[in-house]
Structure 1
Amino acid sequence: MGRTTIVKKDREQRKLTVERIVTIPLKLSWQGWTKPEHIERWWGPRNWNATVYEMDVRPGGVWRYRLAPDKAGEGEEAFCKATYSEVMELSRLVYTDTFTDPNWNPVAGSDMLTSVTFEEAGEGTRLCIITHFASAEELEAAEGMGMVEGYTDTLERFENEISLYITG
């Protein structure tokens, strides 16, 4: 859709910020992030698929999901469990995202505190994802494994898929 995703990396504060203004109204943007049937359509990098096993969007609630490459994608599937600590409807989600094994046992040292903010921007929504890492080395490792490209692809897919839902 010709939009730009802005990525900022701050080694000192150990955070990665990814921001994009999408041409989707605020309420639909929120639903796109909080309903499993929507998030499975766009979550993850291009050429990857998401499967949601559980999504309880409330403080203390859990979101369990798997990311796996489709036929055109490369890489190994990833299992993740996110636990919500803050949910402010139409405004903010905060969760700790953790890699797990296929039995949902956490992988030590993989916790990433993530916040997603939603803000009206003209006829669309400004989405801002901030991921905090335990160390600058973990931030660098995440970038090395393709997290920046993954978030960029994810927000592009979000805009395309939710826009199709709106118009289709």
Structure 2
Amino acid sequence: MNDRTVTIERTFDAPIDLVWAAWTKPEHIANWWSPKGIKTKIIEHEFKVGGKWKFVMPMPNGTEFTAEGVYLEIVKNKKIVSKADFKPMTEGVEIQAIFKTNGDKTDFTFNVVHPTAEYRIQQEKMGILNGWGSVFNRLEDLLKSIK
């Protein structure tokens, strides 16, 4: 996309309605939006443009990792765009989840837009691709289990 964006693409073996539900229903988000072995606590989830979301992941060492943001754009079964902070590691990014029907599967594109190219490079060195990759593996497992 540009020099500030990290992009991850996947095809999920699930219909778009199911993938959309996994992204938008708190009971599903709690089961995939975190590293393996950790259950996400949904503190706030106001799924509308301008609505706030806040998810907390209790880490094995006792600390908490907080993901929070504001929904900027929501187009059902197509796109969710948020301003987001992932404290303490990443702040001031925009995340874009883009969904596209591919038969009975769903093509998925995830963009993380950083304020600067330098910040994107720093985030890549910290493991952003592995981190989100493992979370999307969990999403894939969840989709198989609820299909």
If the length of structure 1 is used for normalisation, what is the TM-score?
0.79
Please report the RMSD computed on the Cα atoms of aligned residues, expressed in angstroms.
Answer: 2.2
Assess if the C-alpha contact under 8 Å between 1:16 and 1:130 holds in 2.
Answer: yes
Gaps of 5+ in 2: none
Deviates more, 1:21-30 or 1:145-154: 145-154
- Alignment of 1:145 with 2:126, yes or no, is yes
- Residue identity matched to 2:101: E
Distance of 1:143 and 1:76 partners within structure 2: 23
Match for residue 160 of structure 1 among 137, 141, 147? 141
Assess if the C-alpha contact under 8 Å between 2:59 and 2:65 holds in 1.
Answer: no
Deviation at 1:153, TM superposition (A): 0.8
Deviation at 1:165, TM superposition (A): 1.5
Paired residue total: 147
Deviation at 1:150, TM superposition (A): 1.1
- Residue identity matched to 2:22: G
Secondary structure of the 1:129 match is strand
Assess if the C-alpha contact under 8 Å between 2:6 and 2:113 holds in 1.
Answer: yes
- Residue identity matched to 2:28: H
| 2:54 corresponding residue in structure 1 | 64
Distance of 1:139 and 1:76 partners within structure 2: 25
Assess if the C-alpha contact under 8 Å between 2:39 and 2:57 holds in 1.
Answer: yes
- Runs (4+) of structure 1 exceeding 4 A deviation are none
Gaps of 5+ in 1: 1-9, 102-106
Deviation at 1:111, TM superposition (A): 0.8
- Residue identity matched to 2:125: G
Deviation at 1:45, TM superposition (A): 2.9
| 1:6 corresponding residue in structure 2 | none
Distance of 1:137 and 1:78 partners within structure 2: 23
Distance of 1:26 and 1:75 partners within structure 2: 36
If the length of structure 2 is used for normalisation, what is the TM-score?
0.89
Give the 5 Å matches for 1:5-154.
13-70=3-60, 76-100=63-87, 110-154=91-135
Taking every aligned residue pair, what percent have the same amino acid on both sides? 26
Deviation at 1:75, TM superposition (A): 9.3
Secondary structure of the 2:47 match is coil
Greater relative contact order, per chain length (Cα 8 Å cut-off, separation 6+): 2
Distance of 1:48 and 1:149 partners within structure 2: 16
- Residue identity matched to 1:30: W
Deviation at 1:161, TM superposition (A): 1.1
Secondary structure of the 2:40 match is strand
Assess if the C-alpha contact under 8 Å between 1:45 and 1:149 holds in 2.
Answer: no
Deviation at 1:156, TM superposition (A): 1.1
